[in-house]
Structure 1
Amino acid sequence: MPAFQSTFEELLQSWQLRLQDAEARETGWPARLETCIRICEESLLELRQWVMQSSFPGRDCEIYFFKQVKPVVMARYIYYQKIYRLHIGYFNGSGLLAKERLEKELHDIARYFTDNDHFYSYYRNGSTHHDELYFVRGQYDWRICPEVNHFDSLFSTSGDGKLAELMAYELLMKYVDGMLNPSPKLIEPAPLCGVTASRPAAETLQCTASRTDVVELGYALHAAGFFNNGRASIKDIMDLLSDVLQVNLRNHSHTFFQIRERKINVTKYLDELKIGLVRYLDQLDQLK
């Protein structure tokens, strides 16, 4: 397996270097994206040619290829195409329409994650118990991934195409969120002179709220203009909360979409905070 794996690690490394060079060399977005798309196409053709002319040493090698090699390249290929189409619409419309289009794109991405929640959880949790069903050729089942287009039984499995789409949408979500919230980074507070703590609070305090609760709190702070007089972006706020609380908020937009889709009590955590504070104040009053 290591020798087999090193072959594709070298190919992926070469592919990534070519992309980095293209992104650094091309200044205009159309030329840059077109070059990156072409590089991905060439790499996919190279991968397909290898599969056509060679055989996998074992089933674990086949799973490795269709789970960790092909989807990585395919995801970038999908990602660059979607950005290209997004820019065409973005720059041809007014600022308001462009903002609406980006927000709709973010909504559609979140909806895609929700519609594919089971497979997405399998991927994000690093699960392996269904790998032979998802990432081995000859196991294709349309009931698992019915949306897979252009099915190629020699170069595709039931799950590699879906995995590539999910990975591409993760990249696209970050890109769109960055376009919607391009404000500068939060200004770090100046250190307090002459004050040293015996033990930093970060070493003694641990966030025990759920990831969803933290996202709800972060969006509430953003909506209330809590940071920088309301000029801080939601991305900067989530980055701050993620660093301070040690909570993974990478896909906060997806989580926020799920919060918005709640049928009852959309502001569940904020309501719990209010109830908790009122209860605490009542207890203090009783002690008077």
Structure 2
Amino acid sequence: MPAFQSTFEELTQSWQLRLQETEAAESDQLTRLETCIHICEESLLQLRQWVTERTFPGKDWEIYFFKQVKPVIMARYIYYQKVYRLHIGYFKGSGMLEKKRLEHELQVIARYFSDNADLYAYYRMGYTHHDELYFVRGAYNWKICPEVNHFDTVFSTSCDGKLAELMAYELLLKYIDGMLNLSVKLIEPAAVTASRPAAASTLQCTASLTDVVELGYALQNCGFFNHGKASIKDIMTFMANEFKVDLRNFYHLFVRLRGRKNPTRFIDELKAGLLRHIESEDD
């Protein structure tokens, strides 16, 4: 193993251990987040110093650093800052207000994934064919990597920062999802009503998960549940339970359907099918 790779692995392990110790030892949330931010900042400064003072043995190692080392630490740095801002800026007022703020954040995350769909797919699918363009310094191409700060020629490439943001938003999505689940339990407890056990149904949802997500968003935006006041999270939870499908990643699926040439394909098929049935009945 090259010495520089060993250095990065030791730094990463030390960084992870310090974060774990802070998470376990510090009970005050804001203090814990501030400490984690400082730990990430210190690690990034160490990485920058190493890169400034040394050279990589080759492009493969430079790609390794800017694709697998720096973005991981940078993602945590961004993530902790965003969680900190959530807790100092949003959690004021009623529980319902808090819930709407969190749902707004999820919409922002979904929009970011959609705006960077190509790079996100490249990262999630494990592609490597654009690595030299994305993760080697001095290879910036504004046609492929727009809106990127490429003027830091020492410690930045075209896409390492954008990749770190995508990783951070993945972490933030999970965090907010957990907060919303807690909010649903504490703020909107389900009413307890006496009812007879439902008979076992033989109906099975055979539509794709993307079709179910498309339907859920359509129902929310037309005010189908609770006079339009039901959250998309509550609707997806309801549909997951009723249809017996896994919708835990429904925001990722929503990003995927937004990127399609026809994002309302399933709804259009529903309308066309109903019209055919009406016409057949008329005949």
Q: Is TM (by shorter chain) over 0.5?
A: yes
CA–CA distance in 2 between the matches of 1:134 and 1:264?
29
CA–CA distance in 1 between the matches of 2:82 and 2:65?
24
Task: Check whether the contact 1:177–1:235 (CA below 8 A) recurs between aligned residues.
Answer: no
Deviation at 1:5, TM superposition (A): 2.9
Amino acid at match of 1:181: N
Deviation at 1:126, TM superposition (A): 0.5
Secondary structure of residue in 1 paired with 2:91? helix
Task: Check whether the contact 2:211–2:266 (CA below 8 A) recurs between aligned residues.
Answer: no
Secondary structure of residue in 1 paired with 2:156? coil
Task: Check whether the contact 1:181–1:235 (CA below 8 A) recurs between aligned residues.
Answer: no
Give the match for residue 126 of structure 1: 126
* Shift in alpha-carbon separation, 1:264–1:41, aligned structure 2, 3 A: closer
Give the match for residue 159 of structure 1: 159
Matched, 1:168 2:171: no
Give the match for residue 56 of structure 1: 56
* Shift in alpha-carbon separation, 1:21–1:53, aligned structure 2, 3 A: same
Deviation at 1:92, TM superposition (A): 2.4
Describe the superposition over 1:239-259 as per-residue Cα deviations: whole angstroms up to 9, x where unpaired: 999xx97x8x66422323555
CA–CA distance in 2 between the matches of 1:10 and 1:270?
55
Give the match for residue 43 of structure 2: 43
Describe the superposition over 1:107-166 as per-residue Cα deviations: whole angstroms up to 9, x where unpaired: 010001001111111111110000000000011233433333484110000010110010
* Shift in alpha-carbon separation, 1:20–1:240, aligned structure 2, 3 A: farther
Amino acid at match of 1:212: T
Task: Check whether the contact 2:215–2:267 (CA below 8 A) recurs between aligned residues.
Answer: no
Secondary structure of residue in 2 paired with 1:181? helix
Task: Check whether the contact 1:181–1:233 (CA below 8 A) recurs between aligned residues.
Answer: no
Task: Check whether the contact 1:70–1:160 (CA below 8 A) recurs between aligned residues.
Answer: yes
Give the match for residue 77 of structure 2: 77
Amino acid at match of 2:54: S
Describe the superposition over 1:39-62 as per-residue Cα deviations: whole angstroms up to 9, x where unpaired: 000000000011011111111000
Give the match for residue 192 of structure 2: none
Q: TM-score scaled by structure 1?
A: 0.70
CA–CA distance in 2 between the matches of 1:145 and 1:260?
21
Task: Check whether the contact 1:63–1:136 (CA below 8 A) recurs between aligned residues.
Answer: yes
1:99-114 correspondence to structure 2 within 5 Å: 99-114=99-114
CA–CA distance in 1 between the matches of 2:141 and 2:31?
39
* Shift in alpha-carbon separation, 1:116–1:103, aligned structure 2, 3 A: same
CA–CA distance in 2 between the matches of 1:134 and 1:261?
22
Q: TM-score scaled by structure 2?
A: 0.72
CA–CA distance in 2 between the matches of 1:129 and 1:240?
41
CA–CA distance in 1 between the matches of 2:82 and 2:208?
32
Aligned residues: 245
Describe the superposition over 1:222-266 as per-residue Cα deviations: whole angstroms up to 9, x where unpaired: x99xxxxxxx9789789999xx97x8x664223235558987757
1:1-288 correspondence to structure 2 within 5 Å: 3-149=3-149, 151-182=151-182, 210-213=208-211, 215=213, 251-256=249-254, 265=264, 268=267, 271=270
Q: Percent identity?
A: 68
Alpha-carbon RMSD across the aligned residues, in angstroms, is 3.7
CA–CA distance in 2 between the matches of 1:120 and 1:261?
12
Amino acid at match of 1:155: F
Task: Check whether the contact 2:133–2:139 (CA below 8 A) recurs between aligned residues.
Answer: yes
Secondary structure of residue in 1 paired with 2:166? helix
Secondary structure of residue in 1 paired with 2:90? helix
Unaligned runs of 5+ in 1: 185-206, 225-231, 279-288
